[in-house]
Amino acid sequence: MSKIKIMDELLANKIAAGEVVERCASVVKELVENSIDAKASEIKIELIEAGTKQIKVIDNGNGMDKEDAVLAFGRHATSKIKTEEDLYRIETLGFRGEALASIASVSEIVLKTCNNNVGTLVQINGGKIINISNDEARIGTIMEINNLFYNTPARLKHMKSLYTELASITDYVDKIALSHPEIRFTLTNNNNVILNTDGTNNLLKTINAIYGINITKKMLEIKAEDDDYIINGYVSLPEIQRSSRNTIITLVNNRVVRNSELNRIINDAYHSYKPDNKYPVVVINIEVDPSLVDVNVHPTKMDIKFSKFEELKELIFKTIKNKLKNITLIPQIEIEKEEVINNKPLYKEFKLNFDEIKEDTENYIINEDLSNESQEILTYNYEEKKEKERLPIMYPIGVIHGTYIICQNENGMYLMDQHAAKERINYEICLNKLSNPSDDKIKLLIPLTLEYTNNEYIILSENLDFLNNMNFDIEQFGINSVIVKSHPTWLPVNNEINSIKKVIDLVISKEKNFNLATFRDNLASTMACKMSIKGNEKITLEEMENLINDLRSCDNPFNCPHGRPTIIYYSKADLEKLFKRSGF
Ligand code: ZN
Ligand code: ZN
């Protein structure tokens, strides 16, 4: 094939470029995936001005000879998709074929590559090859993309702020690093290191490089399998709460995929351990026979469908849930190291872990040198306890601010939020009663008449059976009104009327994907809140002891139904550090 032919194609690609190459991140993605295909064990991504001035990807993979180096920029010049069938087997990197040609048409490229000790240099400007020559021999390939979109001003204008470009590159590199812990990745922008993984095939170390030691210390390892799926990875303690779903990462056969249903299931497994609208940090790899998945590959994303999806969801849900069920989840007050304390004002000395991690996930974390800490995390382990032993034995001393019960044992001091604790206990009782309803009902001395708007009344009328099956006696009563004659026994005593109204409101406001389990759950947490002692309510020492014992027998003693903590912990050692009794 003559060079001219290829150049014509390159020019033609300019038009198509916008479809594949939209952002700096799409260029980085293309180049990094080429490096992975070339079996690189080390990939450096160096950006200048978030990639808008320069994107340089350096790898130690198999380089190209002169002919291949030129052909790589031709249309369909890909070695990746060999057959149609490959598209369905996500062991290959999937889509593409003309991406490099497209990138070449809208930038200035310098390619240095080496194969069998023969180095090649190729320079392309706006799709025109301006130089092909011999180059020094080295291992691997250096691909330098300069001045992206310099010849397509409209596209250039379209680019977002440098910050946004950098954030989306970082997001991509984070995910590819998590899916390839065996590859050493370095990402820099203007010579500042953003990410640095060690390539030792240790997923936890990669998590550490991306999220930092404070989150890494709070990751739990999970492993499970059924006939079709093997899952393994790490899930964070519920106290890690992020504001976006972006930190829930699912891999299939070590490839990042998108499946919002899987993300939802993962978040659901944390229900009532944390607020539902806060998200955990999760990296789960799903191993599956490629014939059981259907992959839809786009230039910018990869959607996936599973056969036997229900089984997979069940496996993931149960595995996470069981993991949380077997460990102690009391957030510990973190006392910073002595040498750090000396340089900081006193009020910064301690903070709650769960407050600390509220930052927006758009804030990518600049990784510090963690070399001495990485040893520590390898031995980090959460002790599994028998269900009812997870809440340690502790002795109440008194209440402060009418709200927090102070307790102690030989290990340290606990603060328990009496409302949150009571709420958890009542929630589990209510949920239990709602799930196993008895036939008993209580007749109201004076039947209750309730009036609703047209709309509400229609919805309510449609659901009268549903309510009456729950042992209410509710009938239509004149225009837009109902009469309540009796109610089930599980309504909170002395709060019956309000509770009846609340139950009906819940039915009227039910959402599209209404289901009985969610309804019961909402109802149980609403009733629990109503039934539970409020702050500033005086309780005796004996009542405190009973409260702790009741809490201990809960399925999840550590959070109220809304996911807030019931109890926090100061270890004795931490207290000694705070009072400078130790640590010198
Ligand atoms: Zn409450
Ligand atoms: Zn609550």
Ligand nearest to the CA of 420: 2
Q: Average pLDDT of 452-472?
A: 88
The pair of structure tokens assigned to 492 is 């909170």
* H/E run at residue 348: none
pLDDT of residue 161: 84
**Least confident interval from 157-166, 198-207, 296-305, 504-513:** 296-305
Ligand nearest to the CA of 531: 1
pLDDT of residue 77: 46
More confident residue, 418 or 578: 418
How far does the centroid of ligand 1 lie from the alpha carbon of residue 423, in Å?
A: 6
* 19 contacts 158 by C-beta, under 8 angstroms: no
How far does the centroid of ligand 2 lie from the alpha carbon of residue 473, in Å?
A: 30
**Least confident interval from 181-190, 365-374, 537-546:** 365-374
How far does the centroid of ligand 2 lie from the alpha carbon of residue 561, in Å?
A: 5
CB-proximal residues (5 Å) to ion ligand 2: 423, 560, 562
> How far apart are the C-alpha atoms of 265 and 269, rounded to whole Å?
6
Q: Average pLDDT of 311-329?
A: 92
Q: Average pLDDT of 102-129?
A: 91
* 190 contacts 207 by C-beta, under 8 angstroms: no
The pair of structure tokens assigned to 128 is 């025109």
Q: How many residues are recorded in the chain?
A: 584
> How far apart are the C-alpha atoms of 127 and 115, rounded to whole Å?
24
- Above 50 in pLDDT, residue 370? no
Give percent of the chain above pLDDT 70. Answer: 80
How far does the centroid of ligand 1 lie from the alpha carbon of residue 279, in Å?
A: 21
Nearest C-alpha neighbor of 28 from the set 133, 154, 171: 171
Give percent of the chain above pLDDT 90. Answer: 46
The residue type at 547? L
CATH topology for 9-195 is Heat Shock Protein 90 (3.30.565)
Eight-class DSSP state of 211: H
Q: Average pLDDT of 113-136?
A: 90
- Above 50 in pLDDT, residue 430? yes
More confident residue, 191 or 326: 191
Q: Average pLDDT of 549-578?
A: 92
How far does the centroid of ligand 1 lie from the alpha carbon of residue 157, in Å?
A: 50
**Least confident interval from 11-15, 248-252, 455-459:** 11-15
List the domain boundaries for the chain: 9-195, 202-385, 386-584
pLDDT of residue 232: 95
Sort residue 49 into left (φ over 0), alpha (ψ -120 to 50) or beta.
left
CATH topology for 386-584 is formyl-coa transferase, domain 3 (3.30.1540)
CATH class of 202-385: alpha beta
How far does the centroid of ligand 2 lie from the alpha carbon of residue 185, in Å?
A: 43
Ligand nearest to the CA of 561: 2
* 159 contacts 149 by C-beta, under 8 angstroms: yes
How far does the centroid of ligand 2 lie from the alpha carbon of residue 543, in Å?
A: 20
> How far apart are the C-alpha atoms of 170 and 182, rounded to whole Å?
18
Highest mean pLDDT (candidates 293-297, 383-387, 451-455): 451-455
More confident residue, 515 or 299: 515
pTM over 0.85: no
Q: Average pLDDT of 218-225?
A: 94
How far does the centroid of ligand 1 lie from the alpha carbon of residue 529, in Å?
A: 4
405 phi, psi to nearest 5 deg: -85, 125
> How far apart are the C-alpha atoms of 189 and 171, rounded to whole Å?
14
Eight-class DSSP state of 381: -
How far does the centroid of ligand 2 lie from the alpha carbon of residue 95, in Å?
A: 47
- Above 60 in pLDDT, residue 530? yes
- Above 50 in pLDDT, residue 310? yes
How far does the centroid of ligand 2 lie from the alpha carbon of residue 6, in Å?
A: 66
For the stretch 480-489, pLDDT in tens is 999 999 998 8
* 97 contacts 76 by C-beta, under 8 angstroms: yes
pLDDT of residue 3: 37
How far does the centroid of ligand 1 lie from the alpha carbon of residue 430, in Å?
A: 14
For the stretch 346-358, pLDDT in tens is 332 233 333 333 3
More confident residue, 93 or 108: 108
- Above 80 in pLDDT, residue 320? yes
How far does the centroid of ligand 1 lie from the alpha carbon of residue 528, in Å?
A: 7
How far does the centroid of ligand 1 lie from the alpha carbon of residue 525, in Å?
A: 8
- Above 90 in pLDDT, residue 115? no
Highest mean pLDDT (candidates 45-54, 374-383, 384-393): 45-54
Q: Average pLDDT of 213-217?
A: 91
pLDDT of residue 490: 79
Q: Average pLDDT of 486-508?
A: 84
198 phi, psi to nearest 5 deg: -100, -5
Q: How sure is the predictor about 249, in pLDDT bands with cuts at 50, 70 and 90?
A: very high
Average pLDDT, the chain: 81
**Least confident interval from 5-9, 113-117, 460-464:** 5-9
- Above 60 in pLDDT, residue 435? yes
Geometric angle at alpha carbon 318, from 432 and 387, rounded to 5°: 60
* 60 contacts 42 by C-beta, under 8 angstroms: yes
Q: How sure is the predictor about 297, in pLDDT bands with cuts at 50, 70 and 90?
A: low
Nearest C-alpha neighbor of 239 from the set 325, 327, 320, 355: 355
* 533: CB partners within 8 A, 6+ apart: 418, 419, 422, 539
Same CATH topology for 9-195 and 202-385: the answer is no
